[in-house]
Chains A and B, each alone.
Chain A
Amino acid sequence: MTTAAPAKTTYEAVIGLETHCQLSTETKIFCPCSTQFGTEPNHNVCPVCMGMPGVLPVLNQKVLEYAVKAGMALNCDIARFSKFDRKQYFYPDLPKNYQISQYDLPIAQNGWLEIELVDELGSATRKTIGITRLHMEEDAGKLVHGGSDRLSGSTFSLADYNRAGVPLCEIVSEPDIRSGQEAAEYAQELRRILRYMGVCDGNMQEGSLRCDVNISVRPVGQEAFGTKVEIKNMNSFNAIQRAIDYEIQRQVEVLESGGTLSQETRLWEEGAQRTISMRSKEGSSDYRYFPEPDLTPIEVPLAQLETWRSQLPELPAQKRHRYETDLELSAYDARILTDDLAVAQYFEATLWAGAPAKQAVNWIMSDITGYLNTEKRSISEIALTPAALAELIALIESSTISSKIAKDLLPKLLSQGGSPKALVEQKGLTQISDSATLTALIDQILAAHPQELEQYRAGKTKLQGFFVGQIMKKTNGRADPKLANQILSKKLKG
Chain B
Amino acid sequence: MIGQQDVQKVAHLARLTLTPAEEAQFTTQLGAILEYVEQLNELDVTTVEPTTRAIDVSNITRPDQQHPHPNRAQILAGAPDPEGDFFRVPKIMDS
Residues of A within 8 A of B (CB): 25-27, 32-34, 40-47, 50, 52, 58-64, 83, 88, 90-92, 105, 143-146, 151-161, 279, 283, 286, 288, 291, 293, 295-301
Contacts and interface: CB of A to CB of B under 8 A. Distances in A.
Contact of B89 (A50, A92, A152, A301): A92
Contacts of B12: 283
Contacts, number: 126
Q: Is the interface of A mostly helix, strand, loop or mixed?
A: loop
A298 B58 contact: yes
Given A159-B86, A283-B12, A297 B58 contact: yes
A32 B68 CA distance: 7
A64 B88 contact: no
Interface residues of B, number: 34
Given A50-B75, A283-B13, A299-B59, A152 B95 contact: yes
A64 B12 CA distance: 36
Contacts of A288: 13
Please name the 6 residue pairs, one residue from A and one from B, whose CB atoms are nearest each other, closest first.
Answer: A46-B69, A158-B86, A62-B64, A32-B67, A41-B85, A61-B61
Contact of A300 (B13, B59, B64, B67): B59
Nearest to A26: B64
Interface string B1-30: 000000000001101000000000000000
Contacts of A44: 68
A157 B92 contact: yes
Contacts of A52: 75
A32 B62 contact: yes
B65 A26 contact: yes
A296 B58 contact: yes
Residue with the greatest number of chain A CB neighbours at <10 A, chosen from B53, B59, B76: B59
B62 A59 contact: yes
7 contacts: A42-B75, A46-B75, A61-B64, A92-B89, A154-B93, A157-B91, A298-B58
A158 B83 contact: yes
A186 B87 CA distance: 38
Residue with the greatest number of chain B CB neighbours at <10 A, chosen from A42, A63, A153: A42
B54 interface: yes
Contacts of A61: 61-64
Contact of A92 (B58, B60, B76, B92): B92
Nearest to A167: B64
A159 to B, nearest CB: 4
B65 A154 contact: no
Nearest to B89: A92
B47 interface: no
B66 interface: yes
B37 interface: no
